[in-house]
């Protein structure tokens, strides 16, 4: 009765994968092949001839990875949070105007690597109203809790010294005081004093007070320079001195946001903001042309118009190098660390299960290239083992199956050894070492389990039987050697040499080396002869050579 053959690992098409790939499969086993870039899948089943049956589906080529977007352009008077150098497809960025009335807008990274959305123009925000300096206090009037500066909208009350008249002043958006003009009556004569002097804009005085005595001096210093003016309180309660005017201090320069980087170019040390007079060098990706941008005090970038050419593709693309899927494992051989796929140029060794022969194969543009792999079949049985004369085997058989074990017992029952029949037709076990001396009278033999004590007559009969058995074994051994010598002479006369037989002279009796793909008629041919066997790529109708199948050796 012939048992169904095992199936070796199946051919895995490109752009597909098999979960839990094994080296061998039993009859009736089925596997599912799933496409990597679609939901298509198909089943294969191992039949009784060690072949895979099923409908094979072609898997689509994977789509290229989407393009990414560089950091978006942020207009003047606007800002965005967590700006990055690169964004993935589908990500969005919200840009908010600095003013309170302009609002915000959102940009989204499109699949072509560009930002899409409605770009708004942000207006310059209204500056915060300036502070009002201490107001002029008219003659014969007083201001309670006079301060050096007042915020926009603050109000103060001016009270006349010699009446109940009261006036209110407000600090407006222009940093000026507005309100009813203050006029107070002349008080009765008293020691002359000067009220706080009027301080011009962009200037300060030291030790500011509400009133000053006659002959007091006050030094006024400009904020933007070292200019100084001296005011003198005279006897009439009036301040005298030069006309004072201080220029406005220069405002600090505005920061520049990250510059716009055109396509096919890049910059080093990308920042979110840049200081005044900072420079950025923009380098084109294709020809290394460089452009320098400089941050101006206005917060804008100054420099030439940047335009970089798109990369040009070569006239002829270099040939692509496809990867190889897992190869079919030949019968009676082993591949260590079998994987689902291999890169172009990968090499591996196929080792025969019997003997020391091995074969080197390499992945060449999706096809396995190497020698014709033919391994000898392992022996199916072992001859009776040859044992020393000081030992014996019970129930000797003319042939033993692979895996059978025998117990070799010393004649004096001092020890026993177990041997096993291996796939190479040889017996393996511990070396038989038995004593050749007979036990002394009265000496006790070591006890073994399941050992039967014999009488002297039974022992003599047993010894005669063993001696006859040994003689028979020696005769059989001599006959086997003679048969082997005759076979060698016969083979040499036929042009073969068993001593030098190699993988090129051994053939598989079944004529199969694993599952072959269903190749349509006229699309592939096998090269026969003394050379190794390979599969040639088939030709489409337009004449373009396309490699589409793995290399499978097919013995003649």
pLDDT tens per residue across span 336-382: 777 767 888 888 888 888 777 888 888 887 788 876 777 877 767 88
Of residues 271, 334, 260, 250, the one with CA closest to residue 293 = 260
Q: Residue 87: is it exposed, middle or buried by C-beta count within 10 angstroms (0-12/13-18/19+)?
A: buried
**Model confidence at 426: pLDDT above 70:** yes
Model pLDDT, residue 364: 83
The verdict on residue 131 lying in a domain is yes
The verdict on residue 454 lying in a domain is no
Q: Whole-prediction pTM value? A: 0.23
What is the number of structural domains in the chain?
6
**Cβ 322 vs Cβ 62: under 8 Å:** no
339 and 361 co-located in one domain: yes
**CATH number of the domain bearing residue 333:** 2.10.70.10
Token readout for 96 is 């908010």
**Cβ 132 vs Cβ 149: under 8 Å:** yes
Tally of CA atoms within 13 A in the half-sphere of 28 that contains its CB: 2
Token readout for 468 is 């006859």
How many other C-beta atoms lie within 10 A of the C-beta of residue 334? 15
Q: Residue 208: is it exposed, middle or buried by C-beta count within 10 angstroms (0-12/13-18/19+)?
A: middle
246 and 257 co-located in one domain: no
Model pLDDT, residue 418: 92
220 and 271 co-located in one domain: no
* Consecutive H or E run containing 311: none
In Å, how far from its chain's centre is CA 352?
37
**491: Cβ contacts below 8 Å, ≥ 6 apart:** 497, 498
**Cβ 186 vs Cβ 140: under 8 Å:** yes
The dihedrals phi and psi of 481, each to the nearest 5 degrees, come to: -65, -40
401 and 358 co-located in one domain: no
The verdict on residue 273 lying in a domain is yes
Summarize pLDDT for 135-181 with one digit per residue, the tens.
888 888 988 888 889 998 899 999 998 888 889 999 988 888 998 88
Of residues 518, 374, 513, the one with CA closest to residue 13 = 518
11 and 106 co-located in one domain: yes
Token readout for 206 is 């030291």
**Cβ 442 vs Cβ 450: under 8 Å:** no
**Model confidence at 413: pLDDT above 60:** yes
Model pLDDT, residue 100: 73
At 521, the pLDDT band (50, 70, 90 cuts) reads very low
The verdict on residue 521 lying in a domain is no
Instruction: Give the lowest-confidence range in 231-235, 304-308, 439-443, 468-472.
Output: 439-443
Task: Name the residue range of residue 352's domain.
Answer: 321-376
Of 145, 168, 185, which closes a domain?
185
């Amino acid at each position: 009765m012939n048992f169904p053959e095992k199936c070796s690992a199946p051919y895995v098409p490109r752009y597909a994968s098999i979960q839990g790939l094994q080296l061998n499969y039993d009859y009736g086993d089925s596997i599912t092949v799933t496409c990597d870039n679609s939901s298509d899948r198909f089943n294969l089943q191992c039949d009784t001839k060690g072949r895979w049956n099923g409908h094979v589906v072609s898997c689509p080529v994977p789509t290229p990875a989407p393009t990414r977007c560089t950091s978006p352009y942020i207009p003047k008077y606007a800002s965005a949070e967590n700006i990055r150098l690169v964004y993935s497809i589908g990500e969005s960025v919200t840009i908010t105007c600095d003013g309170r009335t302009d609002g915000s807008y959102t940009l989204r990274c499109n699949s072509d690597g560009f930002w899409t959305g409605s770009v708004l123009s942000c207006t310059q925000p209204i500056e915060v109203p300036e502070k009002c300096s201490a107001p002029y206090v008219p003659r014969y009037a007083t201001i309670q809790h006079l301060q050096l500066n007042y915020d926009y909208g603050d109000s103060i009350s001016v009270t006349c010294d010699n009446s109940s008249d009261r006036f209110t002043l407000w600090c407006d958006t222009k940093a000026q005081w507005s309100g009813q003009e203050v006029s107070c009556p002349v008080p009765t004569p008293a020691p002359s004093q000067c009220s706080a002097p009027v301080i011009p804009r962009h200037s300060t005085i030291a030790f500011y007070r509400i009133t000053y005595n006659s002959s007091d001096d006050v030094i006024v210093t400009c904020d933007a320079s070292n200019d100084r003016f001296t005011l003198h309180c005279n006897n009439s309660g009036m301040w005298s001195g030069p006309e004072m005017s201080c220029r406005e201090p220069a405002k600090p320069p505005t920061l520049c946001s990250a510059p716009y980087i055109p396509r096919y170019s890049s910059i080093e040390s990308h920042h979110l903001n840049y200081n005044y007079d900072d420079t950025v060098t923009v380098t084109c990706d294709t020809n290394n042309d460089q452009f320098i941008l400089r941050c101006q005090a206005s917060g804008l970038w100054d420099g030439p118009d940047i335009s970089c050419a798109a990369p040009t593709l070569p006239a002829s693309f270099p040939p692509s190098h496809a990867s190889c899927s897992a190869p079919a494992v030949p019968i009676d051989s082993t591949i260590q660390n079998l994987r689902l796929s291999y890169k172009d140029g990968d090499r591996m060794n196929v080792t025969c299960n019997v003997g020391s022969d091995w074969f080197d194969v390499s992945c060449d543009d999706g096809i396995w290239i190497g020698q014709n792999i033919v391994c000898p079949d392992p022996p199916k049985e072992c001859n009776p083992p040859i044992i020393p004369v000081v030992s014996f085997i019970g129930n000797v058989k003319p042939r033993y199956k692979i895996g059978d074990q025998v117990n070799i017992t010393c004649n004096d029952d001092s020890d026993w050894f177990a041997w096993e029949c291996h796939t190479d037709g040889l017996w393996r076990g511990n070396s038989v070492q038995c004593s050749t001396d007979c036990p002394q009278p009265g000496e006790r033999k070591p006890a073994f389990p399941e050992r039967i004590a014999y009488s002297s007559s039974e022992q003599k009969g047993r010894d005669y039987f063993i001696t006859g058995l040994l003689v028979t074994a020696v005769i059989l051994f001599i006959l086997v050697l003679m048969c082997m010598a005759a076979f060698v002479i016969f083979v040499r006369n036929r042009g073969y040499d068993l001593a030098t037989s190699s993988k090129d002279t051994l053939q598989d009796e079944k004529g199969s080396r694993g599952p072959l793909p269903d190749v349509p008629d006229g699309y592939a041919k096998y090269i026969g002869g003394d050379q190794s066997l390979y599969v040639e790529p088939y030709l489409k109708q337009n004449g373009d050579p396309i490699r589409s199948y793995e290399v499978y050796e097919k013995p003649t």
